[in-house]
């Protein structure tokens, strides 16, 4: 009898077997990652938390060096809780989604001050912390504390919607996906714990990252291929279904790269919103439908600046919800020229250590011909 026929006659057995097949696959093919414990060992909650925050909407490759830098400088949550937000933002610069860095620091402070430096070991307790939403709470609870819960990230959404050929589109399908994902947890043993829930979750993530990929999934290598509804239909790549998204309107603005010898004029952005708390060079507003030259009216007022030099070309950058074009104006002012209110001079030699988002690094490089 073929496995296909078996699946038809005994679908219940086939599905009941999935958690075990998934874990067997994981034991053979799991990825070795810096924040992961060795097989059978309990993971360090601090490392799990730090990695989960960094991995939100960010690739494993991009996170690697940042994770090592943070762990080396702040080995535990107590050390991180005692660090300054500015130091954390500087260390985070370049990784994107900067509210994560602010919430990371805020979370460490709460754990240090309100939880004696020990992470809560329940999903609800974790969920209450800054920067920890439904996914991250479930992931930490399962991976670090072996709570029997299945986090649902982009990988698991993809695997599950293919496995069950779920037609409903995201984000409406999330509750259904969560429900179906939980069927891939192994049976509970000893109540809430010792179910290998963390391994089940990481198995699904690894499967999504290495086999059940967004494009051209390697179904032949998948431990669940013989009862995957998407694979049986042949349209597995079309899952998950999602509503089309709209691209933003182009915005334009100006950046002012002002040097005083070997120093650069900078300021800090407001704490919240786009690039919140990060460092920038002075600039105009970024507006849709604005002509390049109009932004010059918003140049900082500096004694000694008789005229601005407009660099040829534009700096382009694409944010999640809009593309941006910046024109760059430069000026060099005499020694001891005062920085305008709210601005400061920093040595060009130490720019790498500043909390510049990438768009600012581009603008500065353009202005300084780096």
Partner DNA sequence: GAGCCGTGGAA
Partner DNA sequence: TTTCCAAGGCT
Please, what is the minimum distance in Å from the beta carbon of residue 131 to DNA?
A: 5
Please, what is the minimum distance in Å from the beta carbon of residue 28 to DNA?
A: 17
Taking the least distance from each CB to DNA, the nearer of 2 and 59 is 59
Please, what is the minimum distance in Å from the beta carbon of residue 302 to DNA?
A: 26
Taking the least distance from each CB to DNA, the nearer of 277 and 300 is 277
- Most distant pair of Cα atoms in the chain: their distance: 88
CA distance 302 to 280: 17
User: What Cα–Cα distance (Å) separates residue 276 from each residue in 168, 187, 356, 363?
Assistant: 35, 44, 11, 18
Taking the least distance from each CB to DNA, the nearer of 7 and 33 is 33
Taking the least distance from each CB to DNA, the nearer of 39 and 318 is 318
Strands 343-347 and 251-260: unpaired
> Which positions touch DNA (CB under 7 A)?
31, 33, 35-36, 51-52, 55-62, 94-99, 103, 130-137, 139, 153-155, 158, 171-172, 202, 205-206, 208-209, 214-215, 242, 244-245, 247-248, 273-276, 317-321, 357-359
Please, what is the minimum distance in Å from the beta carbon of residue 369 to DNA?
A: 20
Taking the least distance from each CB to DNA, the nearer of 28 and 245 is 245
Active site residue 52: yes
155: left (phi over 0), alpha (psi -120 to 50) or beta: alpha
Please, what is the minimum distance in Å from the beta carbon of residue 212 to DNA?
A: 10
* DSSP secondary structure code for residue 300 in this structure: P
User: Residues 38, 41, 52, 179: which is the catalytic one?
Assistant: 52
> CB under 8 Å, gap of 24 or more: what pairs does 187-190 form?
187/19, 188/148
CB 262 within 8 A of CB 349: yes
CA distance 55 to 200: 18
Find the helix or strand (DSSP H, E) in which 288 lies: strand 287-288
Catalytic residues: 52
């Amino acid at each position: 009898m073929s496995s296909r026929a078996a699946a038809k006659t005994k679908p219940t057995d086939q599905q009941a077997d999935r958690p075990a097949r998934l874990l067997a696959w994981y034991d053979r093919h799991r990825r070795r990652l810096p924040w992961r414990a060795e097989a059978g060992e309990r993971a360090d909650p601090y490392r799990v938390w730090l990695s989960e925050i960094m991995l939100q909407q960010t690739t494993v490759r991009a996170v690697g060096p940042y994770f090592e830098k943070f762990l080396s400088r702040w080995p535990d949550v107590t050390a991180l809780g005692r660090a300054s937000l500015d130091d954390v933002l500087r260390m985070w610069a370049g990784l994107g989604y900067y509210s994560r860095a602010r919430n990371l620091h805020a979370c460490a402070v709460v754990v240090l001050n309100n939880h004696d430096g020990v992470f809560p070991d329940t999903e609800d307790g974790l969920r209450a912390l800054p920067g920890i939403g439904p996914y991250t709470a479930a992931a930490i609870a399962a991976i670090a504390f072996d709570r029997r819960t299945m986090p649902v990230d982009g990988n698991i959404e993809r695997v599950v919607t293919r496995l069950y050929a779920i037609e409903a589109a995201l984000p409406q399908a999330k509750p259904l996906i969560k429900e179906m994902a939980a069927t891939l947890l192994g049976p509970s043993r000893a109540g809430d714990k010792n179910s290998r829930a963390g391994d089940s979750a990481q198995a699904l993530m690894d499967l999504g990252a290495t086999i059940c990929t967004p494009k051209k999934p390697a179904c032949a290598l998948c431990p669940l291929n013989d009862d995957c509804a998407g694979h049986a239909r042949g349209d597995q790549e079309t899952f998950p279904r999602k509503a089309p998204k709209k691209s933003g309107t182009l915005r334009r603005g100006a950046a002012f790269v002002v040097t005083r010898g070997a120093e650069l004029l900078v300021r800090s952005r407001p704490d919240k919103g786009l690039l919140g708390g990060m460092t920038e060079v002075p600039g105009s507003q970024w507006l849709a439908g604005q002509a390049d030259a109009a932004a010059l009216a918003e140049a900082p007022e500096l004694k000694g600046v008789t005229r601005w030099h407009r660099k040829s070309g534009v700096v382009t950058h694409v944010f999640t919800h809009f593309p941006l074009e910046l024109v760059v104006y430069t000026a060099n002012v005499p020694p001891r020229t005062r920085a305008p209110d709210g601005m400061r001079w920093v040595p060009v030699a130490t720019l790498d250590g500043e909390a510049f988002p990438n768009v600012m690094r581009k603008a500065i490089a353009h202005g300084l011909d780096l």
